[in-house]
Structure formats: C-alpha cells, structure tokens
Chains A and B, each alone.
Chain A
C-alpha cells in the first residue's frame, strides 16, 4: 500500500514567492498533520485536520502560512510570501483515528528560500 505522498520533494524559491506544498494521506486515514523541522526548533506541529476539518492551527507561525484540506485525499500548505526563515523540511503525516494514535509520515519536502 502507498504511504503518505508529498510533493515536491525539494523546492527552491526566491524570497517573496508563493510556495505550495502538497500531501496525499494514506487512504482511509482520517487525520492529517503538517510539521516543520529545523535544526533550531526541532519538529514543530503546524496544523492538523480531523475528517478534513482543521482542529488546531496554533502552530502556524503567522498569516503567511495557510493550509487546506478540500477532501480526504489531499491537503496543501501554502506560504505566501515566502521568507528565508521558512527554509526547513516540511512533513505531512496521517493517522487512523486522530492525534492519539500513531502517525505515518511522508518523506518530507525540503524547502529552501533564498
């Protein structure tokens, strides 16, 4: 079975540009999580959805970040405008049953903003 799919795997963009990261969760999973990983701050939860509904977005750093989950098989994380400090690895994870159950992570998107 396919795991969590993320695209692109690598993204290099210039400051000020819009960046869209994509995620396809494991089929049948009803929870989806977006994380950001940096050396400075470690692994941070940005937002998570249960049944396509955002449950907690307190980790979203600022208004430049937005996330959507239009259906059970697709989610996006958008950064507009991007800044160099947004450079990080962004992980998407999905879970069957919510945040108290194990999460299955995608391979991540390495974002570099110059």
Chain B
C-alpha cells in the first residue's frame, strides 16, 4: 500500500490562480514527520517544510501555506497567486518509524504543477 498518495499527477493553472496540492499519508505510528519538497526543471529537490505529528498548526510562508489535518491524514499545500516560477514537481514525504527503531523516509509520486503566463 502506498504510504504517501499524491492523487494529482499534473495540475495546470494560469498565473495568479490559487492552487492546492493534495497529500494523503498512511501510518500507524503516533510520531511521524511530514515534508514537502519542490523539484524545479533543473532537477534538484528543494526542501520546503517539515511538520511533526504533534504540531497540527497550519503554516504560512509568503504565498505558500500548508494545512495539516490528522483526522483525514492529509497534509495539503496551497500556493496563492501562482507564478510561472512555481512550475515544478512537488513531492510530499513521510518519515515514520521502522521495526529497527529508525525512521524511513517515503516520498509520494509527486504532482507536476504547470503555471501558464
């Protein structure tokens, strides 16, 4: 079973539109960590945000905001007033505990966001 599901394979919007990227995760752990990364056309993944399972406070950073809801196991990402430079593949990731005591990071399949001028 997929531990991190990003159901939207590709989203296409016009500049200045708001867009929300969905992320649904699956874990039995009470302690876990969620992340979002951006992979622009250049290819290098860039860290955006980290959340632990005990902090459900939503976060806003400029045009970016994140909505973490444990009740629905979701950690959605919204870009307000999108810009062409936001065009990239966005990955949601989960680090959960393993039987060996360490945490294993798992990435979703990514959502490709295309922002048209």
Which residues of A come within 8 Å of B, CB atoms?
Answer: 33, 42-45, 48, 50, 55-56, 89, 91, 93, 98-108
Contact = CB atoms under 8 A, between A and B. Distances in A.
Contact of A45 (B35, B52, B106): B106
B64 interface: no
Size bracket, chain B contacts: 20 to 34
B94 to A, nearest CB: 11
A100 B98 contact: no
B35 to A, nearest CB: 6
B103 to A, nearest CB: 4
Contact of B45 (A45, A93, A99): A93
Contact of B47 (A56, A91, A102): A102
A56 B50 contact: no
Contact of B103 (A44, A99, A102): A99
Secondary structure type dominating chain B contacts: strand
Interface of B: 33, 35, 37, 42-47, 50, 52, 91, 95, 98, 100, 102-110
A contacts with B: majority SS: strand
Contacts of A102: 35, 47, 50
Contacts of A103: 45, 47, 105
A107 B43 contact: yes
B33 A100 contact: yes
B90 to A, nearest CB: 12
A44 B105 CA distance: 9
A48 B42 CA distance: 24
A106 B44 contact: yes
A89 B98 CA distance: 26
Nearest to B33: A100
Shortest 8 CB-CB contacts between residues of A and residues of B:
A105-B45, A102-B47, A43-B107, A99-B103, A42-B109, A100-B33, A107-B44, A100-B103
A44 B37 CA distance: 14
Given A42-B110, A98-B103, A104 B47 contact: yes
Contacts of A42: 107-110
Nearest to B48: A102
